[in-house]
Chain A
Amino acid sequence: MSDIFSILADHGLLLLIGQYPNGPVGGLVLTFVLSVLGIALAFPLAVAIALARMSPFAWLRWPATTLVYLVRGVPLLMFIFWVYFFLPVLTGQAVSGFTTMLITLVIYQAAYLAEVVRAGIEGLSSGQTEAARAVGLSYGQTMRKVILPQALYNMVPAMLSQFVSTIKETSLGYVIGVNELTFAASQVSSTLLTKPFQVYAILAATYFVLCFALTQLARELERRIARRRAGVTPSRRPVRSATPVLTDTPSRP
């Protein structure tokens, strides 16, 4: 245990902010920056992809569907390598690991988020769309003013979950040398040589605290939204049952 404290004392700063100020920011801060930027940039792209997926025009639908299936079927690591090798070719200049990771995360998360957005939109009753069109709103206006605001509100917990996924995915930056938290930890471990378990335990614990806190936040939000929704829509009872199904003494709730 004392090992852990001494490691944190000696190398905590490295894990937190990387080489800064002797180099670019790294460590946990970089992880966080990468995640926030990643999900923030992915979001508008995700809405576009979702709308394309649901569009009646095949020329919009097919590319969007293909992207989603690609992302579902190909490991993130392969994506990272593709971007790593071909972004410089496309742009003609060297691309940093950070940019590579960011672009990969944006595309990858946009595809997953698009499914979340799609589920959110399709989860709204069709009555909403019908009512909006019935008073004369166009498709675009219906989407912007009626559907998306409601759908997005309902989707906040799912989006938080995707944010947590993004944080976990930044760890893959290790493989291309991005100095995020996992890479920083591996450097600390190779410096110390004899305490790999302690270092990686700290690493796991850091991610755990961050992600667990966000997951709990998402769950709390989900509860609140469900409560709100129960008051507004004609009730469709949640599937959750209060009592476990397989206890031996059944009793009326």
Chain B
Amino acid sequence: MTSNASHAAMISFKQVNKWYGDYHALSDIDAQVARGEVVVVCGPSGSGKSTLIRTVNRLESIQSGTIEFDGKDVNAPSIDVNRFRSQVGFVFQSFNLFPHLSVAENISLAPTTVLRKSRREARERAVALLERVGLAARADAYPGQLSGGQQQRVAIARALAMDPPAMLFDEPTSALDPEMVGEVLQVMKQLARDGMTMMCVTHEMGFAREVADRVWFMDHGAIVETGSPDAFFSAPQSARAQKFLSDLRSH
């Protein structure tokens, strides 16, 4: 939801296919996320949405097709996978903070080891990011001392520490108690308003309606339907999308 969307795609999938043995996990994915765009990927469980998002930073491999990130082929042999990953912000469903490091150390880890920034510089940046997510006071706390919502916000700050051009979210609020979902969505909405390119796998329809530019609906490994959030939620075209939305609303 920004006015700065340029024409070149930030993330693009071209004829992407993935199999787990005989199971066709992703089939013929063709889609693009433009710069500054916020895309929400939804669908029933097992539809491949998490798998799709994990192929972007190579946490999952693909058997055919091309994925491009910021103009570069993600699976090109010449790419330094570590350098590359450090430029893609990824937020996990289960936060995955490092319990033996403090919050500030969690955020500073990648900048100091991959970018070789100085400890002081990295810590200043960490504190600035923590302010952005509303946790500046907990810089020296340990993950085990924080609530789920706080941990996820730290995880977002950790991903932002590398100044990535785009952020990927894999069901960021699914593991949270309901009362903490809001604080995390708040951070994500602000990121979207600040112009970040985002690809989010989520069930949070309110979030999608507020900040998403487009919704991709997936089922059985394929993107079945895409559209603007308003169009998708009020009048889904495909039968499967209709069933999915009615199931979602009925609980």
Q: Which residue numbers of A lie inside 8 Å of B, CB to CB?
A: 249-252
**B45-61 near A? 1/0 per residue, CB < 8 Å:** 00000010010000111
Cβ contacts A to B, 8 pairs, < 8 Å: A249-B61, A250-B59, A251-B60, A251-B61, A252-B20, A252-B51, A252-B54, A252-B60
Main secondary structure of the interface of A (DSSP, over half): loop
Q: Assuming A249-B61, A252-B20, what are 6 further A-B pairs, CB within 8 angstroms?
A: A250-B59, A251-B60, A251-B61, A252-B51, A252-B54, A252-B60
Contacts of B61 in A (CB 8 A): 249, 251
Q: Which residues of A contact B59 (CB under 8 A)?
A: 250
Report which B residues bind A (CB closer than 8 A): 20, 51, 54, 59-61
Across-interface contacts of B20 in A (CB, < 8 A): 252
Minimum-distance CB pairs A-B, first 6? A250-B59, A252-B60, A251-B60, A251-B61, A252-B51, A249-B61
> Which B residues are in CB contact (< 8 Å) with A249?
61
- Chain A residue numbers with a CB within 8 Å of B51 are 252
Report the bound CA distance from A250 to B60 in whole Å: 7
User: Which residues on the B side are within 8 Å of A250 (C-beta)?
Assistant: 59
A250 to B54, CA, bound (A): 11
Residues of B within 8 A of A251 (CB): 60-61
* CB proximity of A16 to chain B, nearest CB, Å: 53
B240, chain A: closest CB distance, angstroms: 23
Using CB atoms, name the residue of chain B closest to A250. Answer: B59
Residues of A within 8 A of B54 (CB): 252
What CA separation (Å) do A249 and B60 show in the bound complex? 9
Q: How many A-B residue pairs have CB under 8 A?
A: 8
- A252: which B residues are within 8 A, CB to CB? 20, 51, 54, 60
A237 → chain B, closest Cβ, in Å? 13
Complex Cα distance, B20 from A99, in Å, reads: 63
What's the nearest-Cβ distance from chain B to residue A116, in Å? Answer: 29
Closest Cβ–Cβ distance, residue B22 to chain A (whole Å): 15
In the assembled complex, the Cα of A251 lies from the Cα of B58 at a distance in Å of 10
Instruction: State how many angstroms separate the Cβ of B51 from the closest Cβ of chain A.
Output: 7
Q: How far is the CA of A171 from the CA of B16 in the complex (A)?
A: 65
Query: In the bound complex, how far is the Cα of B51 from the Cα of A250, in angstroms?
Result: 13
Distance of A82 Cα from B20 Cα, bound (Å): 64
Q: Looking at the assembled complex, report how far the CB atom of B47 sits from the nearest CB atom of chain A, in whole angstroms.
A: 14
Bound: A45/B199 CA distance, A = 63
- For the complex, give the distance between the alpha carbons of A250 and B59 in Å: 6
Q: How far is the CB of A243 from chain B (nearest CB, A)?
A: 14
CB distance from B210 to the nearest CB of A (A): 31
The smallest C-beta distance from B46 to any residue of chain A, in angstroms, reads 12
Distance (Å) between the CB of B85 and the closest chain A CB?
11
Q: Report Cα–Cα, A231/B61, bound state, in Å.
A: 35
Closest B residue by C-beta to A253: B20
Nearest A residue to B25 via CB reads A252
Closest to B51 in A: A252
| Chain A nearest CB, measured from B125 CB (Å) | 28
A251 CA to B60 CA, complexed, in Å: 6
The CA of A251 and the CA of B23, in the complex, are separated in Å by 14
A29 CA / B54 CA spacing, docked (Å): 61
CA distance A170 to B97 in the complex (A): 49
Shortest C-beta distance, B59 to chain A (Å), equals 6
Compute how far the CA of A251 lies from the CA of B51 in the bound complex, rounded to whole angstroms.
10
Q: How far is the CA of A231 from the CA of B54 in the complex (A)?
A: 33
Shortest Cβ gap from A241 to chain B (Å) = 14
Quote the shortest CB–CB distance from B175 to chain A (angstroms). Answer: 15
* Nearest residue, chain A, Cβ from B50: A252
**Whole-angstrom distance between the Cβ of A253 and the nearest chain B Cβ:** 10
Bound: A250/B20 CA distance, A = 13
Q: What CA separation (Å) do A249 and B62 show in the bound complex?
A: 12
Q: CA A93 – CA B60 in complex, angstroms?
A: 75
Q: How far is the CA of A251 from the CA of B20 in the complex (A)?
A: 10
Taking the nearest CB of chain A, how far is it from the CB of B50, in angstroms? 9
Please measure, in the bound complex, the distance between the C-alpha atom of A252 and the C-alpha atom of B61, giving whole angstroms. 10
Assembly CA distance A75 to B61 (angstroms): 55
Closest chain B residue to A248, Cβ basis: B81
Q: Tell me the smallest distance from the CB of B139 to a CB of chain A, in Å.
A: 29
Q: Give bound CA distance, A2 to B79, whole Å.
A: 61
Minimal beta-carbon separation of B20 from chain A (angstroms): 8
CB distance from B174 to the nearest CB of A (A): 16
Whole-angstrom CA separation of A252 from B170 in the bound complex: 14
Smallest CB–CB gap between A137 and chain B, Å?
36
Q: Which residues of A contact B60 (CB under 8 A)?
A: 251-252
